[in-house]
């Protein structure tokens, strides 16, 4: 009996050692600084939201959360990098609608958003606002459509990259309005806005955080927003749906994902921390003031949302026969 007890004790001790190894590898928070990768240049909506949330995350977990901007290819470069990153919980991605649910239907992106990236939680969402340079002469959506029809192919619109939400918003409007605006992709919201202000581009389905200051300064003309209802911070700007195109909706959103092989316990812990940060009154207030609506979710809820968005945009891309070019 004594011999059996000794053997059992040894087996249990060995099992504990084996179980202890992965447990240590999944320590939370990670022992090294956490990187939150953003797929767009500093100064845009994604960057602004990521920095607000990262600050609170860092305070809550007692570890640095550093925002790393990796702009280019409509955010796809950042998504490629994170898809191949070490899945130890130290690298997160502030993923966006374009690279996660649109671009994979348009081009070879080098990753599968449903296999190489793991959903953690929704982040923020917001409608775009169609703004034009005063030089176009258009002050209403109807006037802008008339201008586009009068000079087919001569009116252009900026986006944050091929396959981005701003790109598809423009293409969806092309379809619904029966016009032919020319798509001009940029590496992020900030450079697109810079060229619009300089009159080098006619229009842009822009994120409210980058557009509102320019609208208030009278430097840009707002024509319509892309949600089904008017945002509280833009009550005097009609929606595209109100302006003659019922049912038109093209929302922009950012969410949290991690490398696909990140262990489940780490994904669950990050979900808890991100939801906590998004529900923080200080963070919520700051995001809302920037025109961003917090969207904390469970991992399952965000996974389902991603699949729904992917199917919706895939259908539009097929119908419009769009490509990355």
286: in domain:
yes
Asked if residue 169 and residue 141 are part of one domain, the reply reads: yes
Average pLDDT of the segment spanning 210-218: 93
Predicted TM-score of the model (pTM): 0.78
Q: What element of type H or E holds 185?
A: strand 182-185
Considering only the C-alpha atoms of the chain, give the largest distance between any 2 of them, rounded to a whole number of Å: 95
| pLDDT digit string, tens, across residues 68-113 | 999 888 889 999 999 999 999 999 999 999 999 999 999 999 999 9
Structure tokens at 193: 């806005």
In a domain, 23, yes or no: no
Contact partners, residue 266, CB within 8 Å, separation at least 6? 26, 28, 88, 89, 258
The tens digit of pLDDT for each residue in 235-288 reads: 999 999 999 999 998 998 999 999 999 999 999 999 999 999 999 999 999 998
Q: Is residue 242 part of a domain?
A: no
pLDDT average, residue stretch 163-179: 91
Identify which of 249, 264, 250 has the alpha carbon closest to the alpha carbon of residue 300. 264
Does 161 score more than 90 pLDDT? no
Same domain for 39 and 59, yes or no, is yes
Classify the phi-psi angles of 27: left when phi > 0, otherwise alpha if psi is within -120 to 50, otherwise beta.
Answer: beta
For residue 71 the two structure tokens come to: 């702009």
Same-domain status, 268 and 296: yes
Give the per-residue pLDDT at 26.
Answer: 67
Residues 130, 172 contacting (CB under 8 angstroms): no
Boundary residue ending a domain (210, 225, 240): 225
195 lies in some domain: yes
Is 4 a residue whose pLDDT tops 80? no
Same domain, 100 and 136: no
Considering the domain architecture, whether residues 121 and 140 belong to the same structural domain is answered as no
Same domain for 210 and 61:
no
Number of structural domains (the chain) is 2
Last residue of some domain: 208, 225, 242? 225
Same domain for 260 and 114: yes
Residue 263 contacts residue 22 (beta carbons within 8 Å): yes
Q: Is residue 65 part of a domain?
A: yes
CATH code for the domain in which residue 142 is found: 3.40.190.10
- 257 in any annotated domain: yes
Give the whole-angstrom CA distance, residue 129 versus residue 248: 13
**The pLDDT of residue 3 is above 60:** no
Q: What percent of the chain has pLDDT over 70?
A: 92
Instruction: Write down the pLDDT at residue 117.
Output: 98
Q: Average pLDDT over the chain, rounded to whole?
A: 89
Domain at 272, CATH number: 3.40.190.150
Whether cis (ω within 30° of 0) applies to the bond prior to 191 is no
Model pLDDT, residue 325: 62
* 249 vs 126: CA distance, rounded Å: 11
User: Residue 28: in which H helix or E strand, if any?
Assistant: none
DSSP 3-state assignment of 232?
coil
pLDDT tens, residue by residue, 301-319:
999 999 999 998 998 899 8
Domain that holds residue 100: 32-125+253-320
Any domain includes 247: no
Classify 141 as helix, strand or coil: helix
């Amino acid at each position: 009996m004594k011999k059996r007890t000794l053997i059992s004790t040894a087996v249990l001790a060995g099992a504990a050692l084996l179980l202890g190894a992965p447990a240590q590898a999944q320590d939370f928070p990670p022992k090294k600084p956490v990187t939150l990768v953003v797929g767009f240049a500093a100064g845009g909506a994604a960057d602004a939201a990521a920095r607000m949330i990262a600050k609170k995350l860092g305070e809550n977990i007692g570890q640095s959360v550093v925002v790393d901007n990796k702009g280019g290819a409509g955010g796809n470069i950042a998504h490629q990098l994170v898809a191949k990153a070490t899945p130890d919980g130290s690298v997160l991605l502030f993923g966006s609608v374009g690279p996660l649910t649109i671009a994979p239907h348009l081009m070879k992106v080098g990753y599968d958003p449903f296999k190489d990236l793991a959903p953690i939680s929704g982040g923020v969402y917001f409608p775009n606002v169609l703004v034009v340079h005063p030089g176009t002469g258009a002050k209403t959506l109807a006037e802008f459509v008339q201008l586009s029809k009068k000079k087919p192919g001569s009116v252009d619109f900026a986006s944050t990259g091929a396959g981005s939400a701003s790109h598809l918003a423009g293409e969806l409007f092309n379809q619904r309005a029966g016009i032919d605006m020319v798509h001009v992709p940029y590496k992020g919201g900030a450079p697109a806005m810079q060229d619009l202000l300089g009159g080098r581009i006619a229009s842009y389905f822009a994120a409210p955080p980058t557009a509102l200051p320019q609208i208030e300064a009278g430097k840009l003309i707002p024509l319509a927003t892309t949600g089904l209802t008017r945002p509280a911070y833009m009550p005097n700007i009609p929606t595209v749906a109100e302006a003659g195109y019922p049912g038109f909706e093209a929302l922009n959103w950012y969410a949290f994902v991690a490398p696909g092989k990140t262990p489940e316990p780490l994904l669950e812990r990050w979900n808890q921390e991100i939801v906590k940060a998004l529900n923080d009154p200080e963070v919520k207030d700051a995001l809302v003031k920037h025109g961003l609506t917090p969207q904390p979710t469970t991992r399952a809820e965000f996974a389902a949302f991603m699949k729904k968005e992917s199917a919706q945009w895939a259908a539009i891309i097929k119908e419009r026969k769009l490509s990355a070019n």
